[in-house]
Amino acid sequence: MCRRAAGAPFVAWFSVARSALRFVEGLPAQFRSSAKAVRGFCSRCGTQLTFAHDDAPDLVDLTTCSLDDPTLLPPKDHTHTCSRLPWVRLADGLPEFHEARPAA
């Protein structure tokens, strides 16, 4: 679903506590993209911004590249590699998780 929503082979996300999340200007428009998840996007340009899963109500994932400076949050791992396209090669040595990363 992430790949189709983004129109890209993968999406860089980072997670934050819902209680710590603040938007500087306005709130994302939202839609329920599945029975268990809500996606947020910019209502002006359509950029995907957030992903919230019902199974993790205290967390919100944000698209890293929607930040003013995405270099401040480099990836720490790769999740959901089970749905990786066959021509995508991960050669950065970061941990890979077949599905979601284990709960902390």
103 has a pLDDT exceeding 80: no
- pTM to 2 decimals? 0.85
Answer yes or no: CATH 2.130.10.10 is held by domain 12-73.
no
Phi, psi of 62 (to 5 degrees): -120, 145
Q: What is the pLDDT of residue 35?
A: 92
Q: What is the pLDDT of residue 104?
A: 62
Work out the number of other CB atoms within 10 angstroms of the CB of residue 29: 13
Q: Does residue 9 contact residue 48 with C-beta atoms inside 8 Å?
A: no
Mean per-residue pLDDT, 5-26: 90
Taking the C-alpha atoms of residue 8 and residue 93, their distance in angstroms, rounded to an integer, is 22
Reported as a single tens digit per residue, the pLDDT across 77-97 is 999 899 999 999 999 999 999
Reported as a single tens digit per residue, the pLDDT across 57-74 is 999 999 999 999 999 999
